[in-house]
Amino acid sequence: MATLFQGLPSSTAFSSSNKFNHAPAPTSFSERKSSIVTVRSDARWSPVLNSATHKPQRLITNAVATKADSSLASTSSKPGHELLLFEALREGLEEEMERDPCVCVMGEDVGHYGGSYKVTKGLATKFGDLRVLDTPIAENSFTGMGIGAAMTGLRPIIEGMNMGFLLLAFNQISNNCGMLHYTSGGQFKIPVVIRGPGGVGRQLGAEHSQRLESYFQSIPGIQMVACSTPYNAKGLMKAAIRSENPVILFEHVLLYNLKDRIPDEEYVLSLEEAEMVRPGEHVTILTYSRMRYHVMQAAKTLVNKGYDPEVIDIRSLKPFDLHTIGKSVKKTHRVLIVEECMRTGGIGASLTAAITENFNDDLDAPIVCLSSQDVPTPYAGTLEEWTVVQPAQIVTAVEQLCQ
């Protein structure tokens, strides 16, 4: 009953315990570029740096799409305080470091430089160089060191300057991080968080545009989550640090400057729950990370055309929240998956299999999956856009699915 489509033309085993001047400077090590606009949750934006090599207007068109529903349009009247997504990550991290002296951070330039996207800015001054540890450019070494530190009782947060660089530490993540709890007969827990920026940016090139969700999803013993808003970024960061399992937290490079209000009081989110973004009746759209905003932009067009899509941000990439997903499938009987991950062997493929195995009798149409093209991400901006799912493709897919 499940069918995977590459995309339409643009026209149409876990442990049981469970304020910096933004436009972060990308000059350190291998980082080449970063986004230079501030994006609000109501879709207003403002440039924060003049640069001859960047075009803010073009950036924002494809980076964070306009949210469709009026209930999501404005946050100015909400209680709480307003933060950019990278500041929300920092706030969650800082609160956990204050709460638990075992929490520490390690990675390239995470100390006094504050990280390549300033998530750790100011933490070295506050907590000292031993708890915010700058490392050499050696991902396999400091990832292994972090896993060893977790075995001794610490709770390390390992930052990859770019998620693509963590491929150098794949052995440590797969053979050690995910398996040591099991292979030690439960003698060791590995409460480690691995996090960093990834996803297709604006002309960052193939090596800096990696989506590694598909690489890590098959490793036993690892949980994976993807943040998409300042609110869930902070809540997932705190939950990941407190978890007794190793957690990989995926952050999208183009969402760091997304702004929203978050509560003043402390909160922690579940690592295994999806988020209902928009209730609907006609079709279930499952997405995560940056594609959430492409979907919500498409939803506005779909509503104007008479469709009522239900949008779910799955957030938990492993394990899937099949309870929330199943309830939606039983209501709409149609599923569209929208991801930035690669088509072959991606999150969408695994999600398609899970829905087919568990809810096949509830489907009235084949599952459609819109994914990135199976090609290295081109540097040329026009070609780069063609490799990633765009809102027009989502609209067309829903129209065909609901025929």
User: Which residue is catalytic, options 22, 181, 208, 294?
Assistant: 208
Q: DSSP letter string over 279-337?
A: --SSEEEEE-TTHHHHHHHHHHHHHHTT--EEEEE--EEES--HHHHHHHHHHH--EEE
The total domain count for the chain is 2
pLDDT per residue over 204-238, tens digit each? Answer: 888 888 888 989 999 999 999 999 999 999 999 99
Residue at a domain's end among 229, 263, 297: 263
Say yes or no: 116 and 225 in one domain: yes
pLDDT score at 203: 86
Residue at a domain's end among 263, 287, 320: 263
Answer whether residue 15 is part of any domain.
no
Say yes or no: 238 and 295 in one domain: no
208: annotated active-site residue: yes
Q: Are 294 and 391 in contact (CB under 8 A)?
A: yes
Tell me the residue range of the domain where 215 lies: 81-263
Say yes or no: 279 and 315 in one domain: yes
pLDDT score at 205: 84
pLDDT score at 201: 80
pLDDT score at 261: 95
Say yes or no: 288 and 254 in one domain: no
Q: What CATH number is given to the structural domain containing 251? A: 3.40.50.970
CA distance 25 to 335: 40
User: Mapped to the 3 state alphabet, what secondary structure does 113-139 carry?
Assistant: CCCCCCCCCCHHHHHCCCCEEECCCCH
Answer whether residue 56 is part of any domain.
no
pLDDT per residue over 115-162, tens digit each? Answer: 989 999 999 999 999 999 999 999 999 999 999 999 999 999 999 998
Say yes or no: 185 and 280 in one domain: no
- Per-residue pLDDT, averaged over 382-402, amounts to 93
More confidently predicted of 246 and 57 = 246
Answer whether residue 27 is part of any domain.
no
First to last CA, the chain: 16
Answer whether residue 66 is part of any domain.
no
CA distance 203 to 73: 29
Answer whether residue 380 is part of any domain.
yes
Say yes or no: 209 and 286 in one domain: no
Q: What CATH number is given to the structural domain containing 298? A: 3.40.50.920
Answer whether residue 17 is part of any domain.
no
Answer whether residue 237 is part of any domain.
yes
CA distance 391 to 66: 10
Residue at a domain's end among 225, 242, 263: 263
pLDDT per residue over 68-126, tens digit each? Answer: 343 444 445 678 999 999 999 999 999 999 999 999 999 999 999 999 899 999 999 99
pLDDT score at 33: 36
**DSSP-derived secondary structure letter, 209:** S
Answer whether residue 382 is part of any domain.
yes
User: Which residue is catalytic, options 139, 213, 251, 384?
Assistant: 139
User: How do strand 132-134 and strand 37-40 relate by DSSP bridges?
Assistant: unpaired
Say yes or no: 147 and 248 in one domain: yes
Say yes or no: 108 and 249 in one domain: yes
Say yes or no: 236 and 94 in one domain: yes
275: annotated active-site residue: no
- Per-residue pLDDT, averaged over 30-58, amounts to 37
Q: DSSP letter string over 343-397?
A: STTSHHHHHHHHHHHHHGGG-SS-BEEEEE-SSPPPSSHHHHHHHS--HHHHHHH
Q: Are 236 and 227 in contact (CB under 8 A)?
A: yes
- Give the 3-state secondary structure of residue 372: strand
pLDDT value at 49 more than 60: no
Say yes or no: 97 and 191 in one domain: yes
Of 41, 116, 114, residue with least CA distance to 82: 41
Say yes or no: 193 and 313 in one domain: no
Say yes or no: 283 and 143 in one domain: no
pLDDT value at 35 more than 60: no
Q: Which position has the token pair 């972060």?
A: 24
Q: How confident is the model at residue 258 (pLDDT cuts 50, 70, 90)?
A: very high
pLDDT score at 26: 39
Q: How far from the centroid of its chain's Cα atoms is residue 103's Cα?
A: 22
> Residue 130's CB: how many other CB atoms inside 10 A?
8
Average pLDDT, the chain: 84
pLDDT per residue over 161-206, tens digit each? Answer: 988 899 999 999 999 999 999 999 999 999 999 999 999 988 888 8
Tokens of 10: 């643009």
